[in-house]
């Protein structure tokens, strides 16, 4: 142990022990906090990636649903035109005369019900 050579001889400037030579102890509390922070960081990162994947998946689902909606609207439009064609009086009259061999009734055959 070395001491100073000045007036204050009781003051120790350097102790013979090498402070770097002894092993440093990591406190268990600091290790626990570090581990907890790492778990939170990894968990947060995984949650962020999962949420981004969900956003992309839902975007694709919305896109396909819009395409399906457009196709269904087109089908609905086509079916409404077909219904209007099938309900037309000219077509019904033509079918009655040509296929069912029906004729228009004479005025004395018509009975009006009130």
3-18 pLDDT per residue, tens: 445 555 566 666 655 5
Q: Is residue 97 situated within a structural domain? A: yes
The percent of residues above 70 in pLDDT, for the chain, comes to 77
CB 96, CB 102: distance < 8 Å: yes
CA distance 107 to 105: 6
83 within 8 A of 91, measured Cβ to Cβ: no
Q: Which domain holds residue 60?
A: 25-104
Domain count, the chain: 1
User: Percent of the chain at pLDDT above 90?
Assistant: 66
For 37, how many CA atoms within 13 A lie in the half-sphere containing its CB? Answer: 6
Residue 32: left if φ>0, alpha if ψ -120 to 50, beta else—which one? Answer: alpha
d(CA 60, CA 3): 78
What are the tens digits of pLDDT across the range 30-60? 899 999 999 999 999 999 999 999 999 999 9
For residue 112, tell me if it sits in a domain: no
């Amino acid at each position: 142990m070395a001491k100073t050579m000045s007036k204050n001889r009781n003051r120790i400037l350097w102790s013979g022990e090498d402070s770097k030579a002894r092993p440093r102890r990591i406190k268990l509390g600091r290790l626990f906090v570090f581990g907890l922070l790492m778990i939170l960081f990894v968990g947060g990162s995984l949650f962020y990636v999962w949420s981004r994947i969900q956003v992309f998946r839902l975007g694709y689902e919305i896109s396909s649903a819009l395409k399906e909606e457009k196709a269904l609207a087109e089908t609905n439009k086509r079916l409404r035109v077909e219904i209007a064609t099938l309900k037309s009086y000219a077509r019904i009259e033509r079918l009655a005369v040509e296929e069912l061999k029906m004729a228009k009734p004479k005025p004395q055959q018509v009975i009006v019900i009130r």
